[in-house]
Chains A and B, each alone.
Chain A
Amino acid sequence: MADTILEVKNLKKYFKTSRGMLHAVDDISFTVERGKTLGLVGESGCGKSTTGRAILRLIEPTSGEVIFEGKDVTKLSKKDMRHMRKDMQIIFQDPFSSLDPKKTVSQIIAEPITENKIIKGKLAIEERVLELMDTVGLAERYINTYPHELDGGRRQRIGIARALAIEPKLIVCDEPVSALDVSIQAQILNLLKELQVKLGLTYLFITHNLSVVNHFSDDIAVMYLGQIVEKAPSEELFDNPIHPYTQALLSAIPIPELGHTRQRVQLKGEITSPIEPPAECRFAKRCMQCKKEICTTHIPQLLEVKPGHFVACPLKQEELGFSIQ
């Protein structure tokens, strides 16, 4: 039985600009199973971070529902939302700017505990901080250091410890390893995986790094200009990418092996502006397989073309024998 922890329905986030409405996240829906990882991939500006933030209501969604354990969090009052965030936490991309430079490691990790009054008493809190530091692999001697004294990997461990402090069920990981060197990146990825098994965490893993997302996620959703263009289990997505954008994206990954000859799917042209986009496939202008008629007259809808494999490309849907309307 599928145990859905998070369901996002028709989520939209528009920003007002002087040139019109910017459709940062435009009508996306997906679900995440408890204890699993959903990878959200896409290039800069595709709306993946905005999605993560809108789910936690760190920015207010324009419309849509975010159902977490049966409750629509977009309808909660500020006070109830605060309460709800005990179960939903976020790890930010940049370990250099997401930690308060004036606080020590122990103060940073203790903050969510004291804020939410989870544990009372100085000694008990310190004990919990030490336990958390141990969980994320930070040596006890760093307890009174400041973030600037530590390197990127250790800082990211503080960010993880802070997110874990109030025992959340869901963690939105927004590019948690992008700012780190490969050897450190692997340490953090392994740590996140271990914690998932140990604590039964659910992750929404946002990244632009395709090899990392493939390694880390159970399912992957590919975003392009505010929309999900393809969603499938990781293995299926990498073995049989259907959407032309996914194909191009996957073929662009440089592989650290010799004798790798591949047909690279080249993209042409400029990215469509996300400000007041026309009612057509947003990828059409860069797509090599685009057929004028079908791609510019139909607004692509995400359809299940194979069990668990969703694609929003009218051309491919027709090829696979689905009637599109």
Chain B
Amino acid sequence: MEEENKKNTEEHDILNIENLTVRFETEDGVVHAVNGIDLKLGYRKTLGLVGETGAGKTTTALAMLRLVPNPPGVVECDRLEIDGKDVRDLSVNKLEQVRGKDISMIFQDPMTALNPVFTVGEQIAESIEIHEKLSKEKSLEKAGDMLEMVGIPRQRANEYPHQFSGGMKQRVVIAIALACNPKLLIADEPTTALDVTIQAQVLELMNELKEKYNTSMIMITHDLGIVAEVCDDVAVMYAGRIVEQGSLEEVYSDTKHPYTEGLFNSLPNIKNRQRMLKPIHGLMPDPSNLPKGCAFAPRCNYATDACKEAVPKLLCVKGTHKVACSRYESDPNFVIERGKK
């Protein structure tokens, strides 16, 4: 039986996106937030979506849930499947059956993600009531179970968000997101607003729950340390494109893209405090005015004139490891500094 289940779920991926683009058409011009990305995520896998402010990580996630406001947002893609289901043309009613049930999202700021005028119990029960079609009492009962699962006593279900601390609020948000056992959980910087010791507790909790419920997860973060702790695969985004993608091992131990290298070099190393930081010079390009060729070329130490001409394709280098850098295409012996040691 288990074998069979396994087979069924391995026929397709939990998430399959092809050529996703999102642009915002504003009065001041067109903002190209996401510029053609492909993403596939297997069952029970966790993908880390890494990048800096404005790289398009959150917009990508919102597009998966079809939450990009239109206007001004325009979403286009060749394929957008969640658990094998095409969600591109679903009606709003149908979509609501998918959101919260098949796919759900944890937002960055637990302080604003909760509704201040409802008790936390009611807020958790809401999605249970809608998706599992249970009575109000039964849903509240289950909401209590969920609270206990995230480590909050069920008696506190009748309290309001302001009575909880930041870490507790984020636990409530996690409880809401997991209330209906979603197959795919998108966590958008879930611990950025929290203190380190609380962050450690929340990450531990998410890891446990993910195992327990076989949830697949996309972890959006700018923190390469968190990725190393929770993710199986990594995709590094820059200016709306994926520049490097692969397993944790491939991207961390065999870094290929100059931008990924730049990110690693910008981080203080706690074991070697004498090391000088090597920041990436310059700034991320304006998404309403992207350069013609590789978007990273103006900041890249390895860039050649050719890099400024054509947008590099995301090509496979080895195994599942892909990189979008023209230097590898033109020169088979090209190695970045980090790869030399």
A252 x B200 contact (CB < 8 A): yes
A43 x B197 contact (CB < 8 A): yes
A264-B266 contact in complex given A181-B53, A254-B229, C-beta closer than 8 Å: no
Contact of B228 among A216, A234, A260 (CB under 8 A): A260
CB distance from B162 to the nearest CB of A (A): 16
Task: Give A189-206 as 1s and 0s: 1 = Cβ < 8 Å from B's Cβ atoms.
Answer: 110000000000000000
Task: Give A239-271 as 1s and 0s: 1 = Cβ < 8 Å from B's Cβ atoms.
Answer: 000000000110111111110100010110011
Q: Is A187 an interface residue (CB 8 A)?
A: yes
CB distance from A244 to the nearest CB of B (A): 11
CB distance from A178 to the nearest CB of B (A): 11
Q: Which chain B residues border A189 with CB–CB below 8 Å?
A: 268, 277
The distance in angstroms between the C-alpha atoms of A214 and B273, with both chains bound, is 7
Closest residue to A190 on the B side, CB-wise?
Answer: B277
B228 x A212 contact (CB < 8 A): no
Q: Which chain A residues border B52 with CB–CB below 8 Å?
A: 181-183
Task: Give B259-272 as 1s and 0s: 1 = Cβ < 8 Å from A's Cβ atoms.
Answer: 00011111111100
Contact of B195 among A208, A258, A270 (CB under 8 A): A208
Q: Which chain B residues border A257 with CB–CB below 8 Å?
A: 228, 252
Q: Which chain A residues border B224 with CB–CB below 8 Å?
A: 256
Q: For chain B, what secondary structure do more than half of its interface residues adopt (helix, strand, loop), or is it mixed?
A: helix
A235-B273 contact in complex given A182-B222, A211-B268, A266-B201, C-beta closer than 8 Å: yes
A183-B197 contact in complex given A190-B277, A257-B252, A258-B249, C-beta closer than 8 Å: no
Q: Is A44 an interface residue (CB 8 A)?
A: yes
Q: Is B174 an interface residue (CB 8 A)?
A: no
Q: Which chain B residues border A258 with CB–CB below 8 Å?
A: 228, 248-249, 252-253
B268 x A215 contact (CB < 8 A): yes
A185 x B270 contact (CB < 8 A): no
A252 x B197 contact (CB < 8 A): yes
The distance in angstroms between the C-alpha atoms of A208 and B192, with both chains bound, is 12
Of B37-45, B118-126, B209-217, B279-287, the one contacting chain A is B279-287
The distance in angstroms between the C-alpha atoms of A255 and B271, with both chains bound, is 10
The distance in angstroms between the C-alpha atoms of A55 and B204, with both chains bound, is 38
Closest 3 CB pairs of A and B: A254-B225, A215-B268, A186-B279
**Known contacts A182-B267, A183-B266; can you find 4 more A-B pairs with CB under 8 A?**
A43-B196, A185-B279, A189-B268, A258-B248
Which residues of B are interface residues toward A (Cβ below 8 A)?
Answer: 52-53, 165-166, 195-201, 203-204, 222-229, 248-249, 252-253, 262-270, 273, 276-281, 283-284
